Copies of this chain bind each other. A is one copy, B any other.
């Protein structure tokens, strides 16, 4: 019909391909589909009653909540609650000027990218990593450069040589992006020794760190580890959190903590992108936190998801281990990352969708898609254990039929 649009699109828009995930979104709406695809919390664990206690706010504070937010940085009582909540993890109580609330932690990535990247700048990430972070970096003209990972997380010893190589090529290294706990998609957690080392390298080389931690509070066993932020005496680390996995994605609230200068820049870009986040959802979450419900709820989530993780681990042992599939058992978070030697994950996906099981192909998480060719990411938090067993059984069947 209209050519004015298609002829006028930006280069980015012209080159947009439907993402691996957006196609999936339609498939997983089929209620018969067993979905290991999305990073979605289980609806059964939402604290609906306690959250809904805040409903009175719509009336009692209506004239304030229906208005524009008074601060781009977000609701001050929610910021105060988060500052207390995070102090053990961050090693100190940050100031009010060191925290910014965002419209989900996805927005934190976008604002970080606005503040940091000129076209052609480099950002170092784990490989594999969160696909939507790769999209943001790429949209903003940055080049993501991957560092391999093992069961202890990003292999940080490789960083000095990589930074020097990139600088030798004339590139500016604008950040190191890491998902420290129960990595997406890898499932592994960076060891304390590597966190310390990473903070030290960032300090020596003057490279900022984006420490993304949406899953960190969802731990099934073992001790919480101190953040990179807590080891970083130079103030080079921006720590990002989210309510999506510990309370609700629907509230669309994430946060970032760090140096005042970067917080101020991100806040300025927030004004251009959505002015402010909703005072309504912020007030609901603030009251929920002030009542102490968040701390009470986290163990409930962990207990529920631990069972699901264990169910998936057992099903994998039963059906996948005989097929030479390998993985790191995650101590928390949402995902298993399966290595399937000799299996093309995109072909596997096609067969699995016919069998009504969905997952995300490994290629989606890799800067070099070929690096993810033999991998799949499986979410275990959304499905109940009986579905998990059935889904893994079907996937194993699909692998066998592919190998024939």
Contact = CB atoms under 8 A, between A and B. Distances in A.
B249 A67 contact: yes
A55 interface: yes
Interface in A338-369: none
Given A115-B13, A265-B16, A274 B274 contact: yes
Interface string A239-251: 0000010011111
Contact of A2 (B7, B29, B116, B259): B259
Interface in A225-243: 234-236
A391 interface: no
Contact of A106 (B7, B71, B268, B273): B273
Interface in A1-21: 1-13, 16, 18-19
Contacts of A244: 68
Contacts of A118: 10-11
A259 B250 CA distance: 28
A287 B250 CA distance: 17
Interface stretch (A57-65, A77-85, A322-330): A57-65
Interface string A284-298: 100000000000000
A268 B1 contact: no
Contact of A278 (B62, B202, B234, B250): B250
B206 A132 contact: no
Report, as a range, how many residues of chain A touch the other chain: 35 or more
A261 B3 CA distance: 10
A110 interface: yes
A192 interface: no
A186 interface: no
B234 A70 contact: no
Contact of A62 (B11, B51, B135, B139): B51
A106 B272 contact: yes
Interface stretch (A39-47, A150-158, A372-380): A39-47
A277 interface: yes
Contact of A261 (B6, B115, B121): B6
Given A2-B261, A48-B59, A274-B274, 10 more contacts: A4-B203, A10-B117, A16-B265, A51-B58, A51-B66, A66-B248, A68-B244, A107-B274, A110-B274, A252-B274
